[in-house]
Amino acid sequence: MPAIAGWEEGIEAYKQHDYATALKEFKALSKKGEPRAKYALGLLYQNGQGVTQDDHKATELFISAANNGERMAQFRLGELYDDGLLGLRRDSSQAASWYRKAADQGHARAQFRIGFIFNAGIGGVKEDHQEAVHWYRKSAENGLADAQLQLAQMLFNGDGTDVNYKDAAFWYRKSAEQGNSEAQYKLAGMLESGMGISRDHNEADFWRNKASSTVSQPAHQFGVLR
- For the stretch 67-89, pLDDT in tens is 999 999 999 999 999 998 888 89
- Is 163 within the bounds of a domain? yes
Count structural domains, the chain.
1
- Is 162 within the bounds of a domain? yes
- Is 208 within the bounds of a domain? yes
- Is 220 within the bounds of a domain? no
Domain, as residue range, for 155: 143-214
Give the pLDDT score at 218: 47
Q: What are the distances in angstroms from CA 138 to CA 32, 133, 174?
A: 33, 9, 14
Statement: residue 172 has pLDDT above 70? yes
State the first-to-last Cα distance of the chain, in angstroms, to the nearest integer.
Answer: 21
The tens digit of pLDDT for each residue in 3-51 reads: 566 889 999 999 999 999 999 999 999 999 999 999 999 999 999 999 9
- Is 128 within the bounds of a domain? no
Give the pLDDT score at 216: 56
CATH of the domain at 177: 1.25.40.10
Give the pLDDT score at 4: 64
Give the pLDDT score at 213: 87
Specify the pTM. 0.88
The tens digit of pLDDT for each residue in 120-165 reads: 998 889 999 999 999 999 999 999 999 999 999 999 999 999 999 9
- Is 120 within the bounds of a domain? no
Q: How far apart are CA 40 and CA 11, in angstroms?
A: 9
- Is 97 within the bounds of a domain? no
Give the pLDDT score at 225: 32
Measured over all CA atoms, what is the biggest interatomic distance in the chain, rounded to whole angstroms? Answer: 59
**What residues have CB less than 8 Å from 97, skipping those under 6 apart?**
78
Give the pLDDT score at 124: 87
Residue spans of beta strands (DSSP E) within the chain:
none
Statement: residue 224 has pLDDT above 80? no
Would residue 51 be called left, alpha or beta, if left means φ above 0 and alpha means ψ between -120 and 50 degrees?
beta
The tens digit of pLDDT for each residue in 183-223 reads: 999 999 999 999 999 999 999 999 999 999 876 554 544 44
The long-range contacts involving 188-197, CB below 8 angstroms and separated by at least 24 positions, are 190/165, 195/165, 195/169, 196/164, 196/165, 196/166, 196/167, 196/168, 196/169, 197/165, 197/166, 197/169
DSSP codes joined into one string, 115-147: HHHHHHT-TTPPP-HHHHHHHHHHHHHTT-HHH
Band the pLDDT of 226: cuts 50, 70, 90: very low
